[in-house]
Structure 1
Amino acid sequence: MDFTQRIFAYLKFQQLLTDLHGEPFEEFVHRLMSARHPDYVPVRTHGNLGDMGADGLLLFDRTLHACYAPETHDYPSFRTKFRSDLNKALAKRNGHFDTFAFVHNDARGGVHPQVSILLSEVQDEIRPLRVAVRGRQWLWQEFMRLDRITAEELLGCPIPIDERTYGIGLADLEPLLRELRQRRESAEPLADIPVVNQHKIEYNNLSDDVRETLLKVLRHSYLVDEYYNGIMQVDEHDLVARGFRIYFDEVRKTTSDSEELWLELEKYVVGNARVTHRATWAAAVVIAHFFERCDVFDVPPSDWAPTASTGGV
């Protein structure tokens, strides 16, 4: 799917999850995971055995999935369901899995503080087994890897292929862009560019224009760290970074040209409509941040260094 199709699919996907609870949500997870992973095994209940603490199993990754999607979310219900499924899995499937993944559709983002404590306690109890909680963002990132026909089947509607124009490309980054725009005038540049970026820039053989833009905005990429350090959702940065990486990997399947890659990343941040110079600057800062984090473009081997023929920065 291209950029505009992904925006349409994202809105439909979020609405679909909002309307799915109980068994319909579990069925959707089965369909999504079966489409993504040939080793995914949906588990149905059977007589006195029940489901033995799992709704689905990834054979290769040895991951059990338990689904939780009530119409209203509250901590006591989550704790009871989580403990019940986990205890059954440990009792009846011990030795058959390495990770217990709890899949939910809570739209509020993040987890309840008591849930985070519960997860820490349970992780300590079951080591070396692992616990994972997978919500809407994780489900969307799985969905993003589907081809268009399969995605349409899951959404229950066609994804338009005509050209459309959108002013904003990624809702998750809207607050960040507003913050960068507001702070653009007062931002103090960093004194130097880290050496790791020098090597990475040369290693990726960036065009002169991309290279020049990147070198300018890298001096302001610390604003992105300051933004994420100031928000309450501690996992938001990693989730956005993962989505950025997935999108970049998809784009690179169609081109290796650094200018085209950069333009597609800009489109991912601000959309494909005409935007102000300030918005373009903010988008470049965002891209530079994820470049510096090594979420986009290639990381040079540890022993690699520019040769005399490649020049320096």
Structure 2
Amino acid sequence: MSPPLSREERWIARITFQNRIFRVSGTAFQKLVWDVMRQKHGDEFVPVRPQGRLGDGGNDGYLPADGHYFQIYGPETPSEKVEIACKKLSDDFDKILEKWNQKSKIKKYSFVFNDKYEGVYLTIEEAISDLEEAKGVICRAFSAGNLEDEFMSLDSTGMEAVLDSPIVDGRHIRGLEFGAVNEVIQFVMEIPAGDIETRFGELPEVDEKVKLNGIASAWADLIRAGARQSGHIEAYFKKNSMFLRKTVRDHVVGAYNESQAVIPETTPADVRRVDLVFSDFRQRITPPGAKVSVLGAVDSLISYYFEACDIFDPFANGDSDVVA
């Protein structure tokens, strides 16, 4: 059995894998998918190589026992090949139906598209949905984030086989614990204005939880402002792997629990403990040396998990008279 990887080693493995995703296209991307799937499924996954004029019959690899077929497309510039991708996913499905269905009845079809973490484009999603409805077969877009999830589910031996190199020991590399949080914060700061709609109007669930926890109005204002932009956080998670989502959550919740542990139960009469916890927690998830401009993104991250009830008590009984 492979030795378990540390949190730092898993993060380094993810970064190394992401760099590979960004670099490869065409047949190199196809090989990367094959390598991951063979490590994940062993001999159950069968890669299919083109054979002269016969080609591959639209099938780049499959799980015969499951009737699950994969068509792999790794354009160098994904945004320029969306129309081609839409046509390809439909044409190759028909080829599989014609040439492979009798060998292993098609039950599921995955169109593996190297979106390079840009997110699967709307027209591709629509084409997949139309195909599923027309053919009566489960169809899905399989993005870089999905492939990363498959990679991150491997043990250390499998990961190293895919990367063709040992995973670096990250225990002595400073700042790794901020890697996932920094990644999300950087995205929020760089996303063009207007890409994600601001939430206007009342925020009753946020207000209710603020009151329940007795959070001071100054902190409450930051939470509300962050909540209005928290769609940026979800947008980034949708483009990435479940591993990233879980890693960020674990870091944020861990920082909150640390703040809860270090702030004493008894505080001066004019200072609420919950406000000291909030201040300490906000500092803990703010990247070291960050400028004021970063804090808006930090507050969006706090608000995202505040609304999800991952941090602060949704059933707290704090005084609410200071909350506007």
| TM tier relative to shorter chain | 0.5 to 0.7
Go from structure 1 to structure 2 and tell me whether the alpha carbon gap of 1:261 and 1:150 turns closer, same or farther (over 3 Å shift).
Answer: farther
Of 188, 191, 207, which residue of structure 2 is paired with 1:176? 188
2:307 maps to what in 1?
292
Q: What number of residue pairs does the alignment pair up?
A: 279
TM-score under structure 2 length normalisation: 0.60
Structure 1 alignment gaps of length 5 or more: 180-186, 203-207, 229-233, 298-304
Q: Is 1:155 equivalent to 2:141 in the alignment?
A: no
Go from structure 1 to structure 2 and tell me whether the alpha carbon gap of 1:154 and 1:177 turns closer, same or farther (over 3 Å shift).
Answer: same
Amino acid in the other structure paired with 2:158 = T
Retained in 2: the 8 A contact 1:79–1:115? Answer: yes
Q: 1:182-261, aligned counterparts within 5 Å? A: 192-194=204-206, 218-225=223-230, 227=232, 236=236, 238-239=238-239, 242-247=242-247, 259-260=257-258
Taking the aligned partners of 1:261 and 1:280, their CA distance within structure 2 comes to: 18
Of 50, 56, 71, which residue of structure 1 is paired with 2:62? 56
Retained in 2: the 8 A contact 1:44–1:51? Answer: no
Q: Give the fraction of aligned pairs with identical amino acids, expressed as a percent.
A: 16
Go from structure 1 to structure 2 and tell me whether the alpha carbon gap of 1:163 and 1:97 turns closer, same or farther (over 3 Å shift).
Answer: same
**How far apart are 1:16 and its partner, in Å?**
1.7
2:45 maps to what in 1?
41
Of 150, 162, 165, which residue of structure 1 is paired with 2:175? 165
Q: 1:90-105, aligned counterparts within 5 Å? A: 90-91=97-98, 92-93=100-101, 96-105=105-114
Q: Is 1:133 equivalent to 2:141 in the alignment?
A: yes
Taking the aligned partners of 2:259 and 2:40, their CA distance within structure 1 comes to: 25
SS of equivalent residue, structure 1 residue 31: helix
Structure 2 alignment gaps of length 5 or more: 192-198, 262-280, 320-324
SS of equivalent residue, structure 2 residue 70: strand
Amino acid in the other structure paired with 2:119 = G
TM-score under structure 1 length normalisation: 0.62
RMSD of aligned Cα (Å) = 5.1
**Which one has the largest radius of gyration?**
2
Amino acid in the other structure paired with 1:126 = K
Retained in 2: the 8 A contact 1:34–1:41? Answer: yes
Q: CA-to-partner distance for each residue in 1:162-196, whole Å, 9 max, x for gaps? A: 222367644344141468xxxxxxx9996754599
